[in-house]
Amino acid sequence: MTIRDIQRFSEIRYQARAYLCYLFTRNIHNNMPLPQLDNILVQLDKIAHEVDNFEALYILDTKGNQVVDNISKNPKFVLGKNTNRGNKAYYYRAVKEKRCVLTDPYPSSLTNNLSITASFPLYDDKNELCYVICIDISLNDILKISNISNLDNFFGYFSKIIYTLFAIALFLVSSVVFFNGIENFLSSGFNLAVINIEEMFRATILLTLSLAIFDLVKTIFEEEVLGHSKKAKNGGVHKTMVRFLGSIVIALAIESLMLVFKFAAKEETDSIIYAVYLLCGVTMLLIGLSIYLYLVNAKKRKQ
């Protein structure tokens, strides 16, 4: 179970609530003269046969006490009678809102996995609360019920495999660039009297690019494979992507400075204009990134 599953649940939450509440309203009629417990149990048995995968169905009285043991297809889950659930969100929200409600995912006491509970308040003909009917379903099963098809699941796994392969390939590229940077650094020598400035600059550029690519690999693997969403607090901008672009800008700035030294050393003053062009490009990148961050932050402040 990952954060992505919870995000998917938030997308289909209303459909899931509509489906489960429809099951209750179709089988259990509200505002009828003094609902009988035996009749309710018969209707719950019908619901149990309509829903393939559920953890438990149970009934609470007006004080949140469970009046009968759970109805479940798993014999281990047939328990709970006389348990007070008055402090549970699925009880007090249903009583307070006087309608069928659906909880957020929470750790189930039956399975220790994430589950959701739909609860339905049952009133008599005098509009007085008689019972609260509840159904527990695992998060994984509610995603399947809410039209998350096998094809969708297959495509999700396929996408993770592809992103993993891309992450591995980019990591190898980052490693090659890193070792080339170390090689350039070592080849510049440690003799302070004779320092190869060009090799030092080149090593700095390669190491900076290696770090930028590694940050990109880290972002792809965490967000697309593991399902973790790491967004910056400022306007929801991905920190890693900003760092990646910043690393590119730094590398280009170092490259332009290296060109200036190279052309000045060879007295090729006419060629320095190319370094100036590169510096102008770096400046445009900085201005564009600054405008982008400003617009994102402005949108965030408006929200």
Domain boundary among 89, 122, 145: 145
| Token pair for 152 | 């969708």
Q: Determine the average pLDDT of the residues in 156-162.
A: 78
- CATH number for position 117: 3.30.450.20
| Residue whose entry in the numeric block shows the structure tokens 């259990």 | 28
Say if residue 228 is in the same domain as residue 193.
yes
Say if residue 135 is in the same domain as residue 159.
no
Span 54-70, pLDDT tens digits: 999 999 999 999 999 99
What total of structural domains would you count in the chain? Answer: 2
Say if residue 117 is in the same domain as residue 226.
no
- Residue 265 domain-assigned? yes
Position 232 confidence tier, pLDDT thresholds 50, 70, 90: very low
Say if residue 155 is in the same domain as residue 102.
no
Position 281 confidence tier, pLDDT thresholds 50, 70, 90: confident
**Positions of E strands within the chain:** 56-60, 101-102, 106-107, 114-123, 129-138
User: What percentage of the chain reaches a pLDDT higher than 90?
Assistant: 30
Say if residue 124 is in the same domain as residue 222.
no
Domain boundary among 86, 120, 145: 145
Q: Determine the average pLDDT of the residues in 73-96.
A: 93
Domain boundary among 145, 179, 194: 145
- Residue 303 domain-assigned? no
Position 192 confidence tier, pLDDT thresholds 50, 70, 90: low
- Residue 248 domain-assigned? yes
Q: Tell me which amino acid residue 198 is.
A: E
- pLDDT at position 219 over 80: no
Reduced to 3 states (helix: H, G, I; strand: E, B; else coil), residue 125 is coil
Say if residue 267 is in the same domain as residue 235.
yes
What is the reported pTM? 0.53
- Residue 89 domain-assigned? yes
Which residues make Cβ contacts (< 8 Å) with residue 23, sequence separation at least 6?
A: 47, 50, 51, 135
- Residue 100 domain-assigned? yes
Q: Quick one: pLDDT at residue 188? A: 60
Q: Residue 103 region, left (φ>0) first, then alpha (ψ -120 to 50), else beta? A: beta
Position 72 confidence tier, pLDDT thresholds 50, 70, 90: very high
Say if residue 122 is in the same domain as residue 10.
yes
- Helix, strand, coil percentages for the chain (3-state, nearest 5): 60, 10, 25
- Residue 263 domain-assigned? yes
| Burial of 173 from C-beta contacts in 10 A (0-12 / 13-18 / 19+) | middle
Say if residue 129 is in the same domain as residue 196.
no
Say if residue 91 is in the same domain as residue 35.
yes
Say if residue 179 is in the same domain as residue 234.
yes
Say if residue 60 is in the same domain as residue 190.
no
Region of poorest pLDDT, from 11-25, 36-50, 221-235, 276-290: 221-235
- Rounded to whole angstroms, how far apart are CA atoms 72 and 280? 70
- Residue 135 domain-assigned? yes
Q: What is the mean pLDDT of the chain?
A: 81
| Token pair for 254 | 């170092």
Say if residue 10 is in the same domain as residue 73.
yes
Q: Are 44 and 36 in contact (CB under 8 A)?
A: no
Q: Determine the average pLDDT of the residues in 74-80.
A: 92
| Burial of 85 from C-beta contacts in 10 A (0-12 / 13-18 / 19+) | buried
CA-closest candidate to residue 100, choices 33, 27, 11, 18: 18
Q: Are 216 and 240 in contact (CB under 8 A)?
A: yes
Domain of 256 in residue numbering reads as 150-298
